[in-house]
Amino acid sequence: MSKKLIELKNISKSFGSNLVIDELDLYIRENEFVTLLGPSGCGKTTLLRIIGGFEKPDIGQVFFDGCDITKLPPNQRQVNTVFQKYALFTHMTVAENIAFGLRIKKKDDDYIKEKIRYALDLVNLPGFENRMPDSLSGGQQQRIAIARAIVNEPKVLLLDEPLGALDLKLRQEMQYELIRLKNELGITFIYVTHDQEEALTMSDTIVVMNQGYIQQIGTPEDIYNEPENAFVADFIGESNIIDGIMVRDRLVRIGGKDFECVDEGFEENENVDVVIRPEDVELGSVEGGYITGEVVSIIFKGVHYEIQVKSDIGITFMVQTTQNFPVGSHVGINVIPDNFQIMHKPQSEDEEIMNKDEAVKDEHES
């Protein structure tokens, strides 16, 4: 397993009376693609700026390869940042933009020329040296911004929602380009986004944040299939989140009906949150359903239909399926035991946003 490259210890940051990050601990391994994911205002960009040296934490320390860099300015850190708005110099050619950091470091002309060629090849824009930024498309400008960052050979590349200004098709293409670059360069990528699809597509590790706290750390598969709480389940993809009662181990009651599940370790008759992904709800004939329902809406999404089914236990399920069930159809509904995710209900609002610290760190350590 790769060694720890960046470690954040007990980081807190406020802007005036607004507490943005609260006693946060996190480490990032060498050569990882780590995504900081969460809604606007959750603290992810502030955390990225603290790693880059653009913000100082109120308390806590930032370690890089074992050394405390908390007080180092950005230009003395082995990191480079790519911003959403590219920040290219409009009066400079592509080559001059890429060479900017190298000239500050007083590298010789032959070295700079070779690095420009290398960087343009890496981002699939050879021959663009003499173009001006305003003659480039949004995707091309973003590639030049990435080339300018990687030409300085940072150990870490910080990316602050770099694809946010691109259209959907170009954004998807750039996702695969970033994965390729990460693999070819062998450096650590730390990526900030509120886009769940981006995070699931590109990341080795996802850090889900909310209101300054880490909610869960894990692989994309872990985050999607085993969410730690209702916030993560609701934020990562679509979910049916239903109030339930854990009758006993492996048996949950929703809408007055008992369903077999695989979860254990709950109190008898404990109130719980039950999460069922839309693709895990199976529709079929009325005779074959454990419960039944009526289709109340259907939307064609291209690769599947998104269907709302009002069940006979008073719960409306969102269902994603490749089968077409017209509005008004009566259907049978089944969910296999493995596809129920049972979660403890938070005891307070504070507990709801503080599903973090030891549990999160222990999971990441393992």
Could you give the CA distance from residue 108 to residue 105 in angstroms, rounded to a whole number? 9
Q: What are the DSSP E strand ranges found in the chain?
A: 4-15, 18-29, 33-37, 59-64, 67-68, 79-83, 156-160, 188-193, 205-210, 213-218, 240-248, 251-254, 257-260, 270-276, 282-284, 291-300, 305-311, 316-321, 330-334, 341-344
Return the exposure string of 150-161: e unless at least 16 CB atoms fall within 10 Å of the residue's CB, then b: bbbebbbbbbbb
Which pLDDT tens digits describe the chain residue by residue (366 residues)? 679 999 999 999 999 999 999 999 999 999 999 999 999 999 999 999 999 999 999 999 999 999 999 999 998 999 988 876 767 888 999 999 999 989 988 899 999 999 999 999 988 899 999 999 999 988 888 889 889 988 888 999 999 988 877 788 888 888 888 898 888 888 999 999 999 989 999 999 999 999 999 999 999 999 999 999 999 999 998 899 999 999 999 999 999 999 999 999 999 999 999 999 999 999 999 999 999 999 999 999 999 999 999 999 999 999 999 999 999 999 999 999 999 999 998 764 545 554 444 445 455 555
Q: List the domains of the chain with CATH numbers.
A: 4-228+358-365 (3.40.50.300), 239-345 (2.40.50.140)
pTM, full prediction = 0.85
Distances (CA, A) of 164 to 31, 175, 211, 289: 24, 11, 21, 43
